[in-house]
Structure 1
């Protein structure tokens, strides 16, 4: 692993743990045992580094979303696969990351907004259309409205105004939100699948904790 990649990985780790504002270029250098000058050889300033970190995160998410879509047997399983991946990411993310990004790194936040409003919009809309064609989602839903609703509910657990003191409740909040979303969409056939995947997920978690 070269120095540039090591800086990227360590920065991501520190940003997730402490938020963006609290981590300086000097902190990153110290954690890696290198000089601050070395960090600046690869990244012109902190904004450049934040951009590199979250561009990589978004590209990884893009790849995983496409893999989930290919792997899933149906639209509902695709949502469960995406949910598990999202929880793995959110579990280690400091709730202040998006707030810091919006306030102190607006150009990076715009990239995140574009990713959300273009790529994620397309993925969610495609999932809704697929679910309808499979007879798992109701045919009378407004696809555009529910796509936008889901996009904006994904990060709701990080909103301190809505869920204050939520650092240790992210998984619980997100599970409630995704279940609310799915049950609202589902036909009787779809609800049976939701119950099936919920039970499978519960069994996996229990086995993991043994």
Structure 2
């Protein structure tokens, strides 16, 4: 039952936001009593904490699977972006914004874990891209990896990038293109242009 509660809560948090979903909503959605939920989770904060850890773990496993396919590094980044967007349900309710505003401590922990997970992935991606001749040889790898992480988190700031002007799917595509155009070689640019053109068809 605990796992069912966690899965349903995570789904609702992503669809409606961490603040918007109440324990009453969750109980009603599952057709169980609030007492049953509280027998597994002391309070909503505990549920939010476990939900974010569960989500990060699922995304991490999915990214590892994609990395295991050993696609070329440019394709790999697009596959990861597609997977994450699907997993986060397009972030319709801007769950990260609500998490940061109403559960700052949990958001801080999640951001730190996210960075650790992403740093390894991006560093390895850049090194492989350089080895394959599709990323420039003279890149400061640590700088590029940190700038990439910083950008990915910054574009989720709704004050800077309101959804009305910057739909999240398009924004992620534009950011990824912006990042890659700064680091690719002419050979890499051909691969990037092919991916962008095939995505527009």
TM-score, normalised to structure 1, is: 0.87
Rounded to whole Å, the distance in 2 between the matches of 1:104 and 1:191 is: 42
Match of 1:34 in 2: 32
Q: Where does residue 81 of structure 2 map in the other structure?
A: 83
Aligned to 1:151: 149
Residue 192 of structure 1 aligns with which residue?
190
Cα separation, partners in 2 of 1:11 and 1:168, compared to 1, 3 Å: farther
Verify the 8 A CA contact 1:138 1:185 in the aligned structure 2: yes
Q: Does 1:183 align with 2:185?
A: no
Call closer, same or farther: CA 1:141–1:74 in 2, change over 3 Å.
same
Q: Which deviates the most, 167-176 or 3-12? A: 167-176
Deviations 1:157-207 (A, max 9, x none): 43111112348711111111101111111001111111222344445xxxx
TM-score, normalised via structure 2 length: 0.91
Question: 1:51 pairs with 49, 52, 60, which one?
Answer: 49
Alpha carbons of structure 1 residues 140 and 83: separation in structure 2 relative to 1, 3 Å = same
Listed one character per residue, the Cα deviations across residues 116-141 of structure 1 (whole Å, up to 9, x for unaligned) are: 22111111111111111111100112
1:115 aligns with 2:113: yes
| 1:140 matched to 2:143 | no
SS at match of 2:71: coil
Gaps of 5+ in 1: 204-210
Where do 1:8-27 residues align within 5 Å? 8-27=6-25
- Distance 1:15-1:168 versus aligned 2 partners, 3 A rule: farther
Alpha carbons of structure 1 residues 162 and 156: separation in structure 2 relative to 1, 3 Å: same
SS at match of 1:140: coil
User: Matches of 1:131 and 1:144 in 2, distance apart?
Assistant: 14
Q: What is the aligned length? A: 201
CA 1:92–1:81 in structure 2 vs 1: closer, same or farther (change >3 Å)?
Answer: closer
Q: SS at 1:73's partner residue?
A: coil
